[in-house]
Structure 1
């Protein structure tokens, strides 16, 4: 292993430069936080949230009631769109247990 000796002043200057770089990186990352992507849900998660069958979910896609994105053969939905569908239309099927009550 090789050791390198540097002057104290040089070491302190390097520490200051690293601290400034750290602050710049933190500032830039904070600036871009709101631009992060929303959470995406797959078919199974949406069916569980809405309490519907995959076929009903397909009907919602076909009619345009629920927007989606397809990557290869997988279909994804933005969480905000699913929650909007629940909130605005109250579209949440009741389970059999709830219907029996």
Structure 2
């Protein structure tokens, strides 16, 4: 039993190390997470995709956005505070 637990812990450790080393370009969120992050409706997310405002990937009915693209979108539209 203890041996099995040790093996599982080793597997989890390997997975965590791999995830920590992932390139930010490889991280995606789904449409629900995107809408929550941006505080937008499903229709506006669709409009942004249709207009090319945000890049996306569609697998079947599921839509994913690259986190790097979301960050770039925010940076491009950032308005610094006035003094």
Interval of TM-score (by shorter of Structure 1 and Structure 2): 0.5 to 0.7
Match of 1:50 in 2: 38
How many residues in Structure 1 have an aligned counterpart in Structure 2?
60
Match of 1:83 in 2: 71
Quick one: distance in 2 between partners of 1:36 and 1:86? 16
Match of 1:60 in 2: 48
SS at match of 1:77: strand
Map residues 19-58 of structure 1 onto 2, 5 A cutoff: 38-58=26-46
Query: Does residue 65 of structure 2 align to residue 74 of structure 1?
Result: no
**CA 1:41–1:35: 2 relative to 1, 3 Å:** closer
TM-score (normalised: structure 2): 0.62
Quick one: distance in 1 between partners of 2:25 and 2:37? 20
TM-align CA RMSD? 2.4
Query: Unpaired segments of 5 or more residues in structure 2?
Result: 1-20, 79-83
Larger Rg: 1
Query: Unpaired segments of 5 or more residues in structure 1?
Result: 1-32, 91-101
TM-score (normalised: structure 1): 0.52
